[in-house]
Amino acid sequence: MKIYTKTGDKGTTALYGGTRVSKNHIRINSYGTIDELNAWLGLIRDQGIDSYSKNLLTLIQDKLFTIGAILATDPEKALLKSGKERLSIPKINASDIELLENEMDYMNDSLPPMTNFILPGGHTIVSYCHIARTVCRRSERMTTQLFEKEPFDEIILSYLNRLSDFLFVLARKLSKDLKADEIKWIPKKKD
């Protein structure tokens, strides 16, 4: 199989199901940003972090591929004439969100309480995590915009919302693991 097809040379791409749309279509931007987030998680996973977090990030990357496949499917062609789903992939479900929540609770139990906002940074790995968090928020905004035009399973929005929270807590955990300073944001008083 060749990687290049030349079918996108005029600025269009095909959704799963064959429908061609502009490469700047909100659906393409939505799953493209999910792909970008997935790449950032791969970069974090490739760093010197604990194996448990690496395995968890691999699981999350798998879920992001699932979300990307769902978003890449033309909703009008998602079902076959028989009514059976065209795309045979797992779904995102409540247990996927519960996993993120449980992991956040577990990490938070070992972290000092937050009394201020925290400036992103302190260590390169922590910074990568904060970048992934902001990309996740962007993907959430894009998929929300898509959802308003062409609804899909709403649980995807919940998953992305929880994932960005997870990435924030993971950044704090990694700060602790790496003995990096968390710099609090303390607003300056007005003159």
Residue 32 confidence (pLDDT)? 94
Residue 189 confidence (pLDDT)? 84
* pTM (whole model) above 0.85: yes
Alpha-carbon gap, residue 179 to 154, rounded angstroms:
38
Look up the CATH number of domain 13-73+89-181: 1.20.1200.10
Alpha-carbon gap, residue 5 to 14, rounded angstroms:
11
Alpha-carbon gap, residue 34 to 112, rounded angstroms:
31
Residue 125 confidence (pLDDT)? 97
* Summary mean pLDDT of the chain: 89
The residue ranges of the chain whose pLDDT is under 70 are 1, 4, 7-9, 12-15, 17-18, 21-22, 77-87
Residue whose token pair is 């028989």: 82
Residue 188 confidence (pLDDT)? 85
Residue 114 confidence (pLDDT)? 85
